[in-house]
Homo-oligomer: A and B are copies of this chain.
Amino acid sequence: MEGLLLVVPISGLLALAVAAYFAYDVLKSDRGTPAMQEVAGAIYTAAVAFIRRQYTTIAMLAVVGMIVIGAVIYVFETAPGVSKEELALKTAFAFIVGAAASMLSGIIGMFVAVKSNLRTAAAAQTSVGDAMRIALRGGAVSGILVVALSLIGVFAIFALYGGFTKPAEAPFTIVGFGFGASFVALFAQLGGGIYTKAADLGADLVGKVEAGIPEDDPRNAAVIADLVGDNVGDCAGRGADLFESTAAENIGAMILGVAIFTVTKNPAWIMFPLVVRGFGLVASMIGIFLVRGNEKRDPMTSLNFGYYITVALSIVGMYFVTNSMLNEKGGAIWFFYAGVIGILTSLAFVFITQYYTAGSWRPVKEIAEATKTGPATTIISGIAVGYETTAASVITICIALFLSHFFGEQWGTATGLPHGGIYGTAVATMGMLMSAAFILAMDTFGPITDNAGGVASMANASHETRERTDRLDAVGNTTKALTKGYAVASAALAAFLLFSAYLDKITDLRKAAGITPSDFHVVDLAKVDVFIGGLLGAMLVYLFSSLAIRAVGRAGSAIIQEVRTQFREHPGIMAGTEKPDYARVVDITTSSALRNMIAPGLLAVCAPVVVGVLLKAEAEAAFLMVGTMAGVILATVLNNGGGAWDNAKKYIEAGMLKDSLGKVLGKGSPEHAAAVVGDTVGDPFKDTAGPSLHVLIKLLSTITLVLAPLFI
């Protein structure tokens, strides 16, 4: 077992090396024309300025959070054999390390992404294959780093807190790491999500709709802010989201391992999640290496090929690790099955998301048809599609939960050991997370290609160059949608194991406090306070989304006013003789996004505390569980509804919509205008509220785990 454990640091260090190599590979590539460099330079400067201001704010909030957590644990928590001071310090330290690691991975990933867009645009002057390689490797830097840092971080702090000498206690003390990561992710995703969609909304409404100029037109003062937005929202935001997913779910799985360790005294049950993720990281890197684009093939086919490789290698790795580590008393095959369920779930979500958001299937076509009767029916149809998508997603999640739990129970029957069912869901979650680095690389590929298109367009690159970037950009839209589906599904699967960890934790606290009966593994919805907790959890999800969506509207209005003023006061801008003041719009977007992320962020952090303190542990569990269900479902609605509108617009722009006489209804038609309304409505859904909900769900789990002593 000790040998296998070495996989963790080795794969982590290997990943850092691969990331460094990819970064080097990208940075040494051709930097294109001076015009391109100028545009990319402006994006770079603005993105760095935003991230600096955003992360300064977040760092201050994190320090406050750390102090509060330390104080709460010092005052309320009691554990046998550990001093209050040690417990408080350890948790607070883990929190700040988790927060710092999350910030670090966001910053580095975004830095490379912003550098990659220029190189991708430059490469697109000659070849799709090269452009694709650069964009994917740029994205992979972020993807690999995020996963490696979360793996190394959890491993290091586990080792530091005596995981190898007292494996049963360490997992609980490192929960703070996951909470720190969630905390940063929440604000990173909210701030970035508000920034990106406010800028997008502002740029589109004033540019495309009012002034009638095309997307990414240099005369639009909001265009740089719009391009910056893709980086701060999709790169930094989603990176932080998946950083905390992998960290929190890993820790949750380790906590469940403690229960079996207590019986078998074999620490492999606790270490398994770390090792299997190390294998997943390696599988993802191989997959990324094997992606090769060329001029003829659809870039999505190339990416899918790499993904299938990753999935296949993950299955092999899962077989090897379950057999090596979990074969005590035999029966490891059941956990292998559970792991495969998790891996296949990620694949299922890739297909579901494609079906609902890609133009070749019924849902997007239905929305495109609805544009013929105007914007109202376009919206109605998109919302109907968004609601409908919950069915396939939820049923898939239910099957995955049921089967992985069932396989775990079969293991229990075969070996006579307890806690198999819940460990089965933990193995499935780990299986799902094995491809996280690949998925995240594909995700970051999206904003890089999007930005490359913007750079090419603003730098007046050749028609062929823009055609190439457009092709990659379309694929990027799909990969961004896939990542969200993946993030939701992993959150849903992980939620169940984090609940169990919470119930274990409360049981421990009750034991320590001498409360009888100490066992606390029932969350009884038939009690009125528990029911109320559940109802409030479901409500929180809506209130939070309302604040996030409204924040985009507010920040967007500020941008619209500014761009309008610039057009009015400087007629030279429209004529093309004067340059708009991009920096002013960037500045307004930055302050507006940061101001507006505070309210939903604080709501998310405070609501679970208030409910738990008032209604206590069992109602808090229902709050967490029903809130998670509602959050998973609403995030699915928002992500897929938004994605479907986006692609209905693209479907029309591609000339695929025809009237009854066969005439193409393309760009500039009333149908296209209606589709633009749908796309605009969908933007804050799919890029602000939806992704922020993923983070909210996991934040609820980590916050309740860490602050559990308050709810006894």
A binding-site residues for B, Cβ under 8 Å: 201, 205, 209, 370, 373-377, 379-381, 383-388, 390-391, 394-395, 397-398, 401-402, 405, 421-422, 425, 492, 496, 499-500, 503, 521-526, 528-529, 531-532, 534-536, 538-539, 542-543, 545-547, 549-550, 552-553, 556-557, 560, 621-622, 625-626, 629-630, 632-633, 637, 676-677, 680-681, 684
Contact = CB atoms under 8 A, between A and B. Distances in A.
Contacts of A421: 528
Nearest to A390: B542
B387 A538 contact: no
Contacts of A209: 374
Given A522-B526, A524-B523, A539 B376 contact: no
Contacts of A677: 374-376, 379, 677
Contacts of A632: 535
Give the copy number.
2
A625 B379 contact: no
B531 A401 contact: yes
**Closest 8 A/B residue pairs (Cβ):** A387-B546, A376-B680, A394-B539, A388-B546, A523-B525, A384-B550, A387-B542, A390-B542
A523 B521 contact: no
12 contacts: A373-B557, A376-B677, A376-B680, A376-B681, A377-B553, A384-B550, A496-B531, A523-B524, A523-B526, A525-B622, A526-B621, A538-B633
A630 B538 contact: yes
A388 B553 CA distance: 14
Contacts of A205: 373-374, 376-377
A379 B380 contact: no
B380 A496 contact: no
Contacts of A523: 524-526
Given A201-B376, A373-B556, A526-B621, 20 more contacts: A205-B373, A370-B553, A377-B556, A377-B680, A384-B550, A385-B546, A388-B542, A390-B539, A390-B542, A405-B528, A425-B528, A503-B526, A522-B526, A523-B524, A525-B534, A534-B629, A535-B632, A538-B629, A542-B633, A630-B633
A560 B380 CA distance: 16
A538 B391 CA distance: 10
A546 B380 CA distance: 10
A602 B499 CA distance: 34
Contact of A549 (B383, B425, B499, B547): B383
Contacts of A201: 376-377
Nearest to A523: B525
Given A499-B526, A526-B521, A380 B621 contact: no
A225 B252 CA distance: 58
A534 B626 contact: yes
Nearest to A422: B528
A659 to B, nearest CB: 13
Contacts of A622: 525
B681 A536 contact: no
Nearest to A397: B535
A670 to B, nearest CB: 11
A523 B552 CA distance: 40
Contacts of A528: 401-402, 405, 421-422, 425, 496
B621 A553 contact: no
Given A390-B542, A394-B535, A373 B503 contact: no
Contacts of A546: 384-388
Contacts of A503: 526
A625 to B, nearest CB: 5
Contacts of A383: 549, 681
A261 to B, nearest CB: 21
B536 A380 contact: no
A402 B529 contact: yes
Nearest to A393: B539
A538 B535 CA distance: 12
A422 B499 CA distance: 28
Contacts of A633: 535, 538-539, 542, 630
A681 B556 CA distance: 22
B380 A684 contact: yes
Contacts of A535: 394, 397-398, 492, 629, 632-633
A534 B625 contact: yes
A680 B674 CA distance: 14
A361 to B, nearest CB: 16
B398 A532 contact: yes
B560 A373 contact: yes
Choose among A384, A397, A422, A496 the residue with the greatest number of B CB atoms under 10 Å from its CB: A384
Given A398-B535, A398-B536, A626-B626, A384 B553 contact: yes
A405 B527 CA distance: 10
A529 to B, nearest CB: 7
A474 to B, nearest CB: 22
A421 to B, nearest CB: 7
A536 to B, nearest CB: 6
Nearest to A681: B379
A637 B630 CA distance: 14
Contacts of A550: 381, 384, 388
Contacts of A531: 401, 496, 625
Nearest to A377: B553
A650 B380 CA distance: 21
Nearest to A543: B391
A492 B531 CA distance: 11
B522 A387 contact: no
A87 to B, nearest CB: 26
Contacts of A629: 534-535, 538, 626, 630
A651 B621 CA distance: 43
Nearest to A399: B532
A400 B490 CA distance: 36
A375 B375 contact: yes
A422 to B, nearest CB: 8
A641 B398 CA distance: 31
Choose among A503, A521, A539, A677 the residue with the greatest number of B CB atoms under 10 Å from its CB: A539
